[in-house]
A and B are shown apart, each in its own frame.
Chain A
Amino acid sequence: MRLNSLEAFLAVLLAMQLGIDSGFAVAASPAIGTIVTRGAFRMNQATLTSNATLFAGATIETGAAGSLMELASGTRLELGPESRGRFFGDHLVLERGQSKIDKSLGFRVEARGLTVLSDTGGSTGRIRLPGSARVEVSALTGSFRVLNSRGMVVAKIASGKALVLEPQQATGPTRVTGRLVKLGGHYLLTDETTNITVELTAKKNLANQIGQRLEVTGSSDGVATPVSDATELIEVAQATPAPPPATAPAGAGGSSGTGGAAGGAGGGAANGAAVSVTLIAVIAGVAAAAVVGGLAASGSLGGSAAAPVSR
């Protein structure tokens, strides 16, 4: 009798458990947030207006009006007008246009082989895809890191700064500019454009250049581990005194850069943003140039950005 009662009790418990599980399965939907826009937008190629529930993997394409995405994680994104991206719970694959990201800790934006991550929870940034190969990252508040396709940090962007980056087709020489310091017997240089610190090794003695502002080209030693502050160990091919910092609007010519974003000095005018013509860095296969005027020159999502009103 007691056994029967126990069996009945366990059966009821099991039934309740199954009920809870089944309810939970319904509640645990793969919805990742909401999308709100003033006009029409396309979600997975279907045209919608006003708002929708965002599911993981959804491709959103905006028209004349941008869209606002509020993710369950708390991250808030704006997809600019004429933009397209694929949304997931923890990342966005930006395919066209631009996106603004807010409260972005733990959320990343992938674009053209690069990954943009915020360093702090309150960071707000903008990622724009000018031209056919570049990625422009603006840190509006807080700081951001940019990683290459191998997960290596290629730029650290401080608040108020903007960079244009372009992955290179072939791994060319590394090029950095900054002041040479010696710490614990290691030669270190923090690139002025990307804010990335590299360790330098050279056949000739670098001691007489300590404290100088240098323009260094060299090749990355992918095997050796750099000192902890540095992300890469560079074997120096050439280290020359850097010219004084100067910037000019894009299209002003005179770039002595190494292609990619460097070449953007000449071709950048078409993309709207003015980029530095002297501070061009190439780190881990990614060329980077500062945007002249920082955020002011990096453009904005414009007046038609997402607005939480449906029509």
Chain B
Amino acid sequence: MIGARLFAAISLAAFVFAAAGTLRLAIAESLWRTGSLAAGGWPMSVGNSSYYEELAVREPALEVSALGRAVAANPRDSAAWIALGLAAERAGDTDRARYCLLQAEKVDRQYLPAWTAANFFFRQANDTEFWRAARQAAAMFYDDPAPLIDLADHRELKAVAALERLGDTPRLERGYLHFLIAEGRWQEAQEVGGRLALRRGAQDRELLLALTDRLIVAGRAEAALAIARARAGAVTNGDFRIEPSGHGFDWRMTAPPGGAAHWESGRVRFWLARSTPDACALLDQWVVLDPGGYRLRFEYRIDGLAEETGLHWTAVRHGIEEASGPVLTRAAGLAAGDRKTDWSFGVKKPGFYQLRLVYSRVPGTTHIEGRAEFASVELKNL
């Protein structure tokens, strides 16, 4: 009997407490919806940690004491611990700052407390605590990791070492690679890119291609070849088995103005129109060549163009044409049964070359609409 009455009393008390809480929230929401929260909602929360946090903002002179009350009112309020920690750091009380920021990490295992602690320990030059907090933050960053990576990079100058201390993950590697590309640190970008390439993640293809592009522009042939897993003195995707990506060492296809370009497995086609300019590039690929002789072998078919098609291959270095092949003729094409054609050329300087298929109207020939098709391109060192 007494037990039943006690249970009823406790239930009633719980009900009243819950009802009061609900009513309070309803009033607060009503004030918020009517736009009078600032005037009416704030004082309602007197005694809550958020009240003291707001007080700290409104009265900078009371900042530390108000935040102290905030964490006393709600020791699980990580935002208040962080604010108090940063305020203590500003006031030069690093012991208190350290305590508060560690408390914030203790009560809230999300990103912000770990990030804040990492920054604090960075500024305090406390390596052990910095890497602990940074690793914690790295395990759960939800947006751009660049600031965390920047922080780690200031502490550990070797990217791979920093990555390992942060807890190497593909996500972090991607972030670090973006960071290194932006910084133009090609040697380290190659190292991190190499690690990412080993994982063979499909989602990393674009990033690795972008890295290859940047390495090519930076003139770093070996690094670019390593990342792209390409070979010097050879063409990539010469059989056109996959669609040219337009990046790295893959083909770049350009539709001639007024015409079109099309890939299908095993070949590429170009349509030249009457409105196509007298000269334009159609197909292009970066290759790395050592001094010496080379033979470019390829198949082609021509429909509709003049006898002297104006199509020919060139090797371009630093924007200057170093070697130029003969103009392709209709007769030598696939339609004539001779499926393979060679162009032999030589280069004197090592480095990047652009192997380029260009259209350049031969003087005296008529500009006629037509189609050109290419397949099985091979480059061999003689």
Contacts and interface: CB of A to CB of B under 8 A. Distances in A.
A17 interface: no
B143 A310 contact: no
Contact of B82 (A43, A47, A51, A52): A51
A310 B116 contact: yes
B127 interface: yes
Contacts of B122: 29, 31, 53
Contact of A47 (B86, B125, B143, B150): B143
A135 to B, nearest CB: 27
A53 B123 contact: yes
Contacts of B116: 50-51, 310
Contact of B63 (A47, A48, A308, A310): A308
Given A34-B89, A51-B119, A307 B57 contact: yes
Contact of B86 (A27, A30, A308, A311): A308
Contact of A29 (B56, B79, B83, B155): B155
Contacts of A36: 86
Classify the secondary structure of B's interface with A.
helix
A44 interface: yes
B147 A46 contact: yes
A51 to B, nearest CB: 6
B123 A26 contact: no
Given A26-B125, A27-B125, A30-B154, A46 B56 contact: no
A310 B79 contact: yes
A308 B56 contact: yes
Nearest to B87: A308
Contact of B57 (A26, A52, A309): A309
Classify the secondary structure of A's interface with B.
strand
B123 to A, nearest CB: 6
Interface in A45-60: 46-53, 55
Interface string B150-180: 1100110000000000000000000000000
Contact of A308 (B90, B115, B127, B151): B90
B154 A49 contact: no
Contact of A55 (B60, B79, B143, B150): B150
Contact of B53 (A26, A47, A70, A309): A309
A96 interface: no
Interface string B322-335: 00000000000000
B144 interface: yes
Interface residues of B, number: 29
Contacts of B144: 46-47
B147 A52 contact: yes
B73 interface: no
Nearest to B90: A70
A34 B123 contact: yes
A172 B147 CA distance: 46
Residue among A29, A38, A52, A308 facing the most chain B CB atoms (10 A cut-off): A308
B147 A43 contact: yes
Nearest to B144: A46
Contact of A51 (B56, B86, B127): B86
Contact of A31 (B67, B115, B123): B123
Contact of B112 (A27, A38, A49, A70): A49
Nearest to B127: A26
A30 B86 CA distance: 20
Contacts of B280: none
A310 B155 contact: no
B63 A26 contact: no
A39 to B, nearest CB: 12
Given A29-B155, A31-B122, A52-B119, A310 B150 contact: no
Contacts of B368: none
B181 interface: no
Interface string A291-311: 000000000000000011111
Given A36-B86, A52-B119, A309 B56 contact: yes
A307 B86 CA distance: 11
A241 B297 CA distance: 90
Nearest to A28: B125
Contacts of A31: 122-123, 154
A311 B113 CA distance: 11
Interface string A123-139: 00000000000000000
Contacts of B82: 50-51, 310
A53 B146 contact: no
Nearest to A35: B119
Nearest to B67: A309
A116 to B, nearest CB: 24
21 contacts: A26-B125, A26-B155, A29-B155, A31-B122, A34-B86, A34-B90, A34-B123, A44-B147, A46-B147, A48-B147, A49-B112, A52-B147, A53-B119, A55-B154, A307-B57, A308-B56, A308-B60, A308-B63, A308-B87, A309-B56, A310-B83
The 10 tightest CB contacts between A and B, nearest first, are: A307-B57, A27-B125, A309-B83, A46-B144, A46-B146, A53-B119, A310-B82, A46-B147, A309-B57, A29-B154
Given A36-B86, A70-B90, 8 more contacts: A29-B155, A31-B154, A34-B89, A46-B144, A52-B147, A53-B122, A308-B83, A308-B87
